[in-house]
Amino acid sequence: MPAALTTADARLLVSAGPRRGLRRLAGWTIFATGLLVVALNANLAPVLTCTEARPCGHDVLGAVAVGLVLTSLLLGWLLPWAAAAAAALGAAGQSWWDSRHPAEASPVGTRLLIAYAVVALACAWLATRRPRSEAVELWAGRTGSVTLPTLAEGPRTRPGLVRRVLGLLLIAAGAGLGWYATAHQQEMDAQQRTAQVVTTVVDGHVDEFTLRVRRTGGEPFTIPVLDVASYPVGSELRLAVNGQGLRQPLTEPYDGTGWHALAAGLVFVGGALWWRGRRRREELRAPLTGLHPASGVFVNWRGDLFAGDARTGDAPIASLDVLDYLPAASAATETRPTAPTPLDEDEDDDFDDDQEVGDLDTVEARVLYGAPVIGQLCVVADEQRHLVTVVRVVPVRSAASFTALADGAPPVPDAAAAPARSAPARSAPVPADRLALIPDAEVAAPPELVHRHHKPRLLGLLLTVSMPLALAEVIRLLPRTGAWIAAVAATVVCCFVGYRIWLRAAVAWNAGGVAITGIIGGFTAPWPEVTDITVEGDIVHVISDRHGAASVTAQAKRGGRTAESLRAGLDHARSRFTPTVAPPARPSASPPWALLLLAPVPVAILVAFNAFGHS
């Protein structure tokens, strides 16, 4: 049995991973930056005057560039590098288009697209990089490299298969749509060349993109145009018409390149999904080959990972997501100089999927191959059942604590490698003046009783929906199209921020520990792992050396629990720490259905304010 993974090493290794939430932050940064650049480009683009001598024709290259830029907005959350590549290709395509159409080019808009591509590349690098960790290297050097158990068969699952199949389907759909758009464009061009040319008079403007025209002695009808401002009421407009319903201005021939933009987006998303599925297959198979540091750990049936020197009542160091499991041809592994020892012939190396599973909190000894870093892929070997499991190390997601082993074995795989640890001490009692801030029922509550706090939901909804209205004066000055884009973008950003601050954040605690779903991040920890609780305005910060910091909002003055009262309640529970009481479960964030229903309200108010400002 390898040496036990000590609690001290485990805490250093778990915290050596990339910062949680960085990938999500990168996705929102890419989305917000791209949306702002698209909105600015729509308003900075030069006004084109379409004439019969110089009609506003279609351009496939420009449409593909626009499609790639819009696609990158959505890919930021899923595949940051694919989003960065789409933004870079879109900026390059727009630069090439500007060189071919200098009279219609927008130098400022092109520079903004290039800047957006640089931001997307930086976000992708920050979201996916794995910084070098000296703690992991030192631990791996002390532990030594070992070989994995010999596998009896290959992987049972096909990792990334769904992504690869979905990617191929999207590529096929995009290619088919592109072929259809090209064929339809050619058909419409042929109809326009053979159509009859008639002269009409502009009778009125239905909206920004629709004209009402009338032939001499005929009934009025409507046609779509790029901008009605180019066609004053009373002016003449020549149309290409035929018996198949064609009514196309000669100044604006049929343009179906919007379908080319959608096709380019589908092909790029499909290619990115296919590539990610292939990478996932390689990632899941990589831990099954080569040499890896090995350590003795404990795992329960919930998937919680405990250090090799864990004692009764200890909290898990991480949780494990099972990605694949395979039967092993050998039950034991040896260090690098020694070949693996084969199983006895009498032993059964078949894993029984239907065997009885014990209590979910019962732990069993395992061998962990790899460093238990958050986000890292490792291998867990069960020597008794000859099973090799590929897992991903994730943050702790349960309030389970270490209990006795199923077979009554000593709780340390290698007792000589596990130093004795003293029981944690309680913090100092809360002073009387701060104790008065806590409700009497909470002060006298039993240690195991769970207390909870979150911002009042109705107040959080009102605050969130009101945030975009602060930009009403700015949006009033924008043109109508820009106002729509700015109103939607401001509402999306404000709803995300408001949901995080006022609707998502919650905390639960008792004498065993605290569980917090913060504005950013969150964790569950027993009180000895909490190092400090601070207050900043109406925000309470709970700080842990192991899990980092998480914050939750309280009431500023009245109408609910203030930040000082919440802090006093947490400190009081911390002073009553009871090792036999498990920390509460982490508060779950409910879906923001009410916020989604109310989100159109500020958009409508801002657009109406803009319309009244231009009336």
pLDDT of 339 reads: 33
- Of 63-67, 135-139, 410-414, 606-610, give the lowest mean pLDDT range: 410-414
Backbone angles phi, psi at 210, to 5 degrees: -135, 130
pLDDT in tens, 88-122: 888 888 888 777 777 677 777 788 888 888 988 88
Residue 223: is its pLDDT beyond 50? yes
Helices 22-44 and 80-100 pack at an angle, to 10 degrees, of: 20
Most confident among 196-205, 356-365, 552-561 (mean pLDDT): 196-205
Tokens of 323: 């990605």
pLDDT of 344 reads: 35
pLDDT of 179 reads: 92
pLDDT of 175 reads: 92
Rounded to an integer, the average pLDDT of 245-266 is 85
- Of 192-201, 382-391, 486-495, give the lowest mean pLDDT range: 382-391
Residue 460 Cα to chain centre, angstroms: 23
Residue 422: is its pLDDT beyond 60? no
Residue 420: is its pLDDT beyond 60? no
Residue 40: is its pLDDT beyond 50? yes
What is the share, in percent, of the chain residues with pLDDT greater than 70? Answer: 81
SS3 30: helix
Residue 506: closest CA among 595, 593, 394, 585: 585
pLDDT of 409 reads: 47
SS3 129: coil
Q: Yes or no: say if 11 and 421 are a contact pair by the CB < 8 Å rule.
A: no
DSSP label at residue 102: G
- How many Cα atoms are found within 13 Å in the side-chain-facing hemisphere of 291? 13
pLDDT of 173 reads: 92
pLDDT of 18 reads: 61
Cβ-in-10-Å burial (0-12, 13-18, 19+) of 573 comes to buried
Residue 22: is its pLDDT beyond 80? no
Residue 401: is its pLDDT beyond 70? yes
pLDDT bracket for residue 419 (50, 70, 90): very low
- Of 360-369, 404-413, 495-504, give the lowest mean pLDDT range: 404-413
- Of 226-240, 355-369, 486-500, give the lowest mean pLDDT range: 355-369
| Arithmetic mean of pLDDT over the chain | 77
Q: Which residues, in sequence order, are CB contacts of 109 under 8 Å at separation 6+?
A: 40, 41, 44, 45, 94
Q: Is 229 left (phi over 0), alpha (psi -120 to 50) or beta?
A: alpha
CA 404 – CA 397 distance, rounded (Å): 21
pLDDT in tens, 457-492: 788 888 888 888 888 888 877 777 777 888 888 888
pLDDT bracket for residue 345 (50, 70, 90): very low
pLDDT of 407 reads: 47
CA 328 – CA 323 distance, rounded (Å): 16
Residue 132: is its pLDDT beyond 60? yes
Residue 155: is its pLDDT beyond 70? no
CA 611 – CA 615 distance, rounded (Å): 6
Residue 340: is its pLDDT beyond 50? no
- Of 273-277, 304-308, 588-592, give the lowest mean pLDDT range: 588-592
Q: Yes or no: say if 2 and 295 are a contact pair by the CB < 8 Å rule.
A: yes
pLDDT bracket for residue 331 (50, 70, 90): very low
Q: Is 245 left (phi over 0), alpha (psi -120 to 50) or beta?
A: left
What is the share, in percent, of the chain residues with pLDDT greater than 90? Answer: 2
CA 227 – CA 209 distance, rounded (Å): 5
Residue 378: is its pLDDT beyond 60? yes
pLDDT of 240 reads: 86
Rounded to an integer, the average pLDDT of 5-31 is 75
Residue 386: is its pLDDT beyond 80? no
CA 561 – CA 365 distance, rounded (Å): 45
pLDDT of 358 reads: 44
Q: Yes or no: say if 315 and 579 are a contact pair by the CB < 8 Å rule.
A: no
Residue 547: is its pLDDT beyond 60? yes
Tokens of 196: 């009859």
Residue 172: is its pLDDT beyond 90? yes
pLDDT bracket for residue 20 (50, 70, 90): low
pLDDT of 171 reads: 92
Rounded to an integer, the average pLDDT of 540-567 is 77
pLDDT of 169 reads: 92
Q: Pick the residue with more confidence: 241 or 558?
A: 241
pLDDT of 413 reads: 44
Residue 250: is its pLDDT beyond 90? no
Rounded to an integer, the average pLDDT of 517-521 is 81
Residue 156: is its pLDDT beyond 50? yes
Residue 601: is its pLDDT beyond 70? yes
- Of 211-225, 349-363, 593-607, give the lowest mean pLDDT range: 349-363
